[in-house]
Every structure is written in structure tokens, then in C-alpha cells.
Amino acid sequence: MQWQCLPFEQLTTHQLYDLLKLRVDVFVVEQNCPYPELDEHDRHPQTHHLLGFQDGELVAYLRLLPPGVTYDNVSIGRVLTAQAARGTGAGHALLQQGLIHAERLWPQHTIDIGAQDHLQSYYLQYGFSPISEMYLEDGIPHIDMRLTKDEAKA
């Protein structure tokens, strides 16, 4: 898998189209969840977009957000793999790369995520711990989780 981690301004129009299409395909269409997918967080000057390509096709994506944008701490969000790439290890590779880039961008920072509740065990493998009760976000059960530097397992 080939990885690129870019701020908004460095994304090509094709990369931007591909990542937005993949996000809509997964979060809006697959999960049957109409919600405002586009937000101003994508364009924040410190937000970075991590893109994973397999044979030239975007199959994995997440965004890295600086402290104070969605949480008080650094945040990882919009974590997804294309349907065709699921079960191949692409999701694990994606999160590992996300943690590496978060550390590069914001060394020693705590990372908070709003995880879909059914993915708790996935994030627990990487040292994230629940910090909230389950809550509904756009009708989907979520839980906030946190990774502090001393808990990281990459």
C-alpha cells in the first residue's frame, strides 16, 4: 500500500474527489445515514488527510485533526476502508500509519476519537480506552476513546 499524508491545500482535485466519494460511499450510502459529511474541519490549515492507495486506487482513508478542532486533544476521524479492501489488513495498516503521522505532526500528544461503538475492540488493540458512555451520533452508537502516549501499542 502506498501512503500520502497531506494538508488540504496539497490535495489534488482528483485526490479530494476520491476521498470525498469514498467517505460518502461508506458513511452515507453504506451506513444509510444522511448527515452533513462535509465540514470545515477538512480545510483547517493543520488538518492532514491520510490516503492509502492499492494499485492506484484509494482504498483507505482517515483524517488527522490538531488539538482544539473536534476535541481538546489531537483527533483521528473519518477512519474507513473501501468495501473491497476489508478483511485484507488495510484497516490495521491505516490506523498504524495514522498513529505514526499523528506522532510526527504532534509529538507526545494524547489522541481522542469518536468511535462507532461496534469498533471498540479494534481500537482497544491499539491502546485506546473508553472515556464516555455510548451515545448516538446521527443515529449510530458511538463512544469516545482516548490514547495517551504511555498507552500506545503500534
> pLDDT tens digits for the chain (154 residues)?
999 999 999 999 999 999 999 999 888 787 777 767 788 899 999 999 999 999 999 999 999 999 999 999 999 999 999 998 998 999 999 999 999 999 999 999 999 999 999 999 999 999 999 999 999 988 889 999 999 976 555 4
CA 102 from centroid of its chain's CA atoms: 11
Residue 115 contacts residue 96 (beta carbons within 8 Å): no
Instruction: Provide the pLDDT for residue 153.
Output: 54
pTM here?
0.91
Instruction: Provide the pLDDT for residue 121.
Output: 94
Instruction: Provide the pLDDT for residue 19.
Output: 94
CATH of the domain at 127: 3.40.630.30
Q: Which of 86, 88, 83 is nearest to 22 (CA)?
A: 83
**Domain count for the chain:** 1
C-alpha cell at 78: 473519518
Residue span of the structural domain in which 76 resides: 2-151
Question: What is the Cα–Cα distance from 42 to 21, expressed in whole angstroms?
Answer: 14
As beta bridge partners, residue 5 has 50
Instruction: Provide the pLDDT for residue 141.
Output: 93
